[in-house]
Amino acid sequence: MTHEPFSVDWLGVEDPWVGISVDLVTLQSIVCQVLHIPTTQSGPPVAIGLDQQANYARIYSFRLPSRTVIARLVAPVKPLFKTESEVAAMDFVRSHTPLPVPKVFAYCSEASNPVGTEWLLMEHMPGVELGGAWDDLQLPQKRRLALDLIGVYDQLFRLKIAAMEAVVFCIFTPIEEPLLTVPSPSQMLPTFTTDDYVKLVAFNGNPSTRSDYDFPTCEKCVELFQSIHNLYLNSTVFGPAADASNFRFSHGDLHDGNILIDLQSGAITGIIDWEAAAFHSSWVEVCGVGWFEEDRQQFIIGSDEPRNFDDDTAPEDTFRTELHRRNPDLFSCFLGAVELCAVLHAAVDDPRPLGETDIFLNRYYRLGYWKADRRGAFPWDMEAWQHRHMDLDELNMKRIDSLKRAQANTCAA
């Protein structure tokens, strides 16, 4: 934890590429060298989605005589480690499953290269992003998507190790400020228990890089998680006893922007962005089908109020029924680990003002999700914590006002 009073975690910038000079001509030359074609037969680099990307990745496509290839450029956020990990994860999944994962032709994990930043050259995957296509899909296509999604979870679930060997740390996109700092590799030590993993991601490294303002809230999330986790002491799926035998491989960031689909059939045609992939507890990944709204219906997610299953539609029914038929353990994770996933989600949220961790904790308590008649007393004095948080809010506002006055004085001078 930082010792400077109420210091922010990281003063981010609107564009992390400021000061970085990317040589696209050299990149095009490398594409041609790797794929053994003359430079004259390569189309120019075409930017993909740069108008929507204020983050650390830039994507370009190159049209060649017989194919289109993708170049992914990465700003120097967690240098070397991030690119090496992503390439290893993609190769691992491609070699152990039939999932549609891009083939990597070449990469450079050192920023000091002629292109000017780390890069990956990989095959182009067909299809469109699920997030942009969902509203245009009809029920038959959504059913096909649900079945394919179950196949993705099922295939990754089969990749098992005896205990977690390493964690690829969450990367927080530097879009607004303040955000989380990126811990050094020395702060991302391998974890071998769920408890250690939750602490690592909640505190943003070990030692923590959370600010004095955000650390107390994240600490309470960890305490709540531990209290819930210990309710399942004898569970071979959710509890501490599962740590020795039930870590499975997961994508780590499987949202609707990282899944490509065919618009005509709804079939999944590609799964991209594997930099957060790792072996996790088996329940971590499957509770993430946000495009079906199921996790939001079951539990509080951020500041959203929970709902119920009364308004279920066919794709959701298909997902649950087929998941139970194909992999009962995965179904147990999906249906039974929602509370654990929700607390984990809150623990790793961005710092205030973007993050909603404190809102989650207040709603969790107010709506009675901790069943005191069955579980005993709440893990801490909630009223005392709320007063403490209000004190932190007041002190932080004074700090912000002081910084604004200092900035105004500097401008006036």
Residues 140-153: pLDDT tens digits? 898 899 899 999 99
- The CA distance from 108 to 113, in Å, is 8
Mean pLDDT value across residues 308-320: 59
Residues 120-129: pLDDT tens digits? 999 999 999 9
Structural contact between residues 206 and 175, judged by C-beta atoms closer than 8 angstroms = no
Chain centroid to CA 240: 23
**Three-class secondary structure of residue 336 per DSSP:** helix
Residue 185's pLDDT band (boundaries 50, 70, 90)?
low
Q: Which two tokens stand for residue 325?
A: 């038929």
User: The tokens 């993609």 sit on which residue?
Assistant: 90
Pairing status of strand 128-129 against strand 160-161? unpaired
Peptide bond into 178 cis (omega under 30): yes
Mean pLDDT value across residues 268-284: 87
Alpha helices in 337-381 (DSSP H): 338-347, 357-366, 372-375
Quick one: pLDDT at residue 247? 79
Torsion of Cα atoms, 143 then 148 then 154 then 157, to 10°? -120
Q: Which of 94, 149, 193, 93 is nearest to 286 (CA)?
A: 149
Quick one: pLDDT at residue 166? 42
Instruction: Please give the full DSSP string across 308-332, using - where no structure is assigned.
Output: -STT--HHHHHHHHHHHHH-HHHHH
Structural contact between residues 228 and 220, judged by C-beta atoms closer than 8 angstroms = no
Residue 385's pLDDT band (boundaries 50, 70, 90)?
very high
- The CA distance from 174 to 176, in Å, is 6
The mean predicted confidence, pLDDT, of the chain is 80
Name all domains of the chain by residue range, CATH numbers in brackets: 24-124 (3.30.200.20), 130-396 (3.90.1200)
Q: Which of 334, 258, 343 is nearest to 302 (CA)?
A: 343
- The CA distance from 259 to 210, in Å, is 31
Peptide bond into 207 cis (omega under 30): yes
Residues 74-116: pLDDT tens digits? 887 666 577 888 999 999 999 999 999 999 999 998 888 999 9
Quick one: pLDDT at residue 40? 92
Quick one: pLDDT at residue 32? 96
Quick one: pLDDT at residue 297? 60
Residues 195-254: pLDDT tens digits? 888 898 898 888 888 888 888 899 999 999 999 999 988 887 888 877 767 778 888 888
Instruction: Please give the full DSSP string across 185-204, using - where no structure is assigned.
Output: GGGS----SHHHHHHHHHTT
Q: Which two tokens stand for residue 310?
A: 């009364």
Is pLDDT above 90 for 321? no
Chain centroid to CA 42: 34
Buried b (16+ CB within 10 A) or exposed e, 341-374: bbbbbbbbbbbbeebbbbbbbbbbbeeebbeeee
Residues 286-307: pLDDT tens digits? 654 455 655 556 666 666 666 6
Residue 169's pLDDT band (boundaries 50, 70, 90)?
very low
- The CA distance from 294 to 313, in Å, is 11
Q: Which of 10, 74, 76 is nearest to 354 (CA)?
A: 10
pTM: 0.79
Chain centroid to CA 218: 17
User: The tokens 């990367």 sit on which residue?
Assistant: 171
Report the 10 Å Cβ neighbour count for 48.
16
Q: Which two tokens stand for residue 285?
A: 């990944």
Which helix (H) or strand (E) segment is 215 a member of? helix 215-229
Quick one: pLDDT at residue 294? 58
387 phi/psi in degrees, rounded to 5: -65, -40
Quick one: pLDDT at residue 227? 95
Count of H-run helices and E-run strands, the chain: 13, 11
Sequence-distant (6+) residues with CB within 8 A of 143 are 266, 314, 315, 318
CA torsion sign for 20, 24, 27, 31 is positive
Q: Which two tokens stand for residue 156?
A: 């990754």
Lowest mean pLDDT among 211-220, 303-312, 335-344: 303-312
Q: Which two tokens stand for residue 368?
A: 């009675």
